[in-house]
Amino acid sequence: MKKDIVYKKITKDSLPNILFLHGYGQNKEMMMPLAKRAEKFANVLALDLPGNPNNPLIKIFTIDDYVEYLEEIIITYKFIPDIIVGHSFGGKLASFYALKHPTTLLLLAPSTIKPSFSLKRFLKIKLYKVFKWLNKHQIIKKIPKSLSGSKDFQNTSGINRATFLNIVNSYLGKKQLKNLKSEIYLIYGNRDKEVSYTQMKKFAKYSSATHLIVISGDHFAYIINVSAITNLLFEITKEKLWKL
């Protein structure tokens, strides 16, 4: 396992461990503004997840493969997390991990909940499939870019695209959410266009130990609210310290 895919800082063995998971198409550097500040009161570990340019995929991954990979990282680096901070896909991964290993979660706009049905999106997918068939049979030269899916989808191919589709279509249902025994803090930007407020409300409704906090910003709202989120992390870790 490549050493440069992980950033690990142990300040004191008696301090809580915080694991940071970035979103899809991002890297551990996106989480470093939070991780660096958290070093003052916790041990931290941030990593490049498979599918990152620094940690390329060698096979098609499912969400279960990502959970297994995370378990391997935790064993390899001897870093059992007391808290996991995850953004977007990183938040989804943290949620699936916590089903097997109850852990306090601080989730930044996690893509854990299936979006509500959208007729516009449904028709767009159907049109894309029609144009894909026409393109395959050389009836048209190319598929209109407006129908070619999200930027993340367009920027993938091969095993990366298959993995992307696997993780995008993996969600926790009502029953699984009710089985989440962890304390969860949901942070949501009020101008987020990637994850809806309705999805966050569903998460909080079915997972009883969940606190939903709305802040100013878009899908990356945590970047402009680093101080506030760090303060929240500090308050959570204080509670962990009291239990030691």
Please write the tens of the pLDDT for every residue from 132-161.
666 767 777 776 666 555 666 666 678 988
* Same-domain status, 229 and 192: yes
- Give how far the C-alpha of residue 64 lies from the chain's centroid of Cα atoms, to the nearest Å: 14
- Per-residue exposure over 177-208, b if at least 16 CB sit within 10 Å of its own CB, e if not: beebebbbbbbbbeebebbeeebbebbbebbe
On whether residue 166 sits in a domain, the answer given is: no
Tell me what the mean pLDDT of segment 97-118 comes to.
90
On whether residue 163 sits in a domain, the answer given is: no
pLDDT above 50 for 30: yes
Q: Which helix (H) or strand (E) holds 125?
A: helix 119-136
Identify the domain boundary among 158, 180, 211.
158
Q: Are 63 and 166 in contact (CB under 8 A)?
A: yes
On whether residue 216 sits in a domain, the answer given is: yes
* Same-domain status, 123 and 106: no
On whether residue 204 sits in a domain, the answer given is: yes
Of 12-16, 127-131, 211-215, where does the model show the most confidence? 211-215
For residues 236 and 240, which has the higher predicted lDDT (pLDDT)? Answer: 236
- Give how far the C-alpha of residue 184 lies from the chain's centroid of Cα atoms, to the nearest Å: 14
pLDDT band at 52 (very low <50, low <70, confident <90, very high): confident
On whether residue 164 sits in a domain, the answer given is: no
| Secondary structure (3-state) at 12 | coil
* Same-domain status, 110 and 31: yes
Q: Hey, how many other C-beta atoms are within 10 angstroms of the C-beta on 237?
A: 20
* Same-domain status, 146 and 40: no
Split into its structural domains, the chain has a count of 2
On whether residue 89 sits in a domain, the answer given is: yes
* Same-domain status, 53 and 91: yes
Could you report the per-residue pLDDT of 156-180, keeping only the tens digit for each? 678 988 998 999 999 999 999 999 9
* Same-domain status, 30 and 131: no
Identify the domain boundary among 98, 133, 158.
158
Identify the domain boundary among 134, 158, 182.
158
Q: At what angle do helices 158-168 and 63-76 cross, to 10 degrees?
A: 100
Q: Are 28 and 48 in contact (CB under 8 A)?
A: yes
Q: Over pLDDT 90: what percentage of the chain?
A: 69
Tell me what the mean pLDDT of segment 166-195 comes to.
93
Tell me what the mean pLDDT of segment 217-228 comes to.
96
* Same-domain status, 100 and 122: no
Sheet holding 210-215, edge to edge: 6-9, 43-47, 17-21, 83-87, 104-108, 184-189, 210-215
- Give how far the C-alpha of residue 4 lies from the chain's centroid of Cα atoms, to the nearest Å: 20
* Same-domain status, 229 and 133: no
The C-alpha angle 163, 126, 154, rounded to 5 degrees, equals 40
Tell me what the mean pLDDT of segment 206-235 comes to.
94
On whether residue 217 sits in a domain, the answer given is: yes
pLDDT band at 120 (very low <50, low <70, confident <90, very high): low
* Same-domain status, 121 and 74: no
Nearest to 168 by CA among 219, 97, 113: 113
* Same-domain status, 153 and 232: no
Q: What is the CATH number of the domain that holds 45?
A: 3.40.50.1820
On whether residue 73 sits in a domain, the answer given is: yes
* Same-domain status, 108 and 130: no
Q: Which helix (H) or strand (E) holds 165?
A: helix 158-168
Structure tokens at 213: 């906090």
The residue type at 58:
I
* Same-domain status, 36 and 133: no
Give the pLDDT confidence score for residue 140 in this predicted structure. Answer: 72
Q: Over pLDDT 70: what percentage of the chain?
A: 81
Distance separating alpha carbons of residues 119 and 123, to the nearest angstrom: 6
Give the pLDDT confidence score for residue 130 in this predicted structure. Answer: 64
Range of the domain at 208: 3-114+171-243
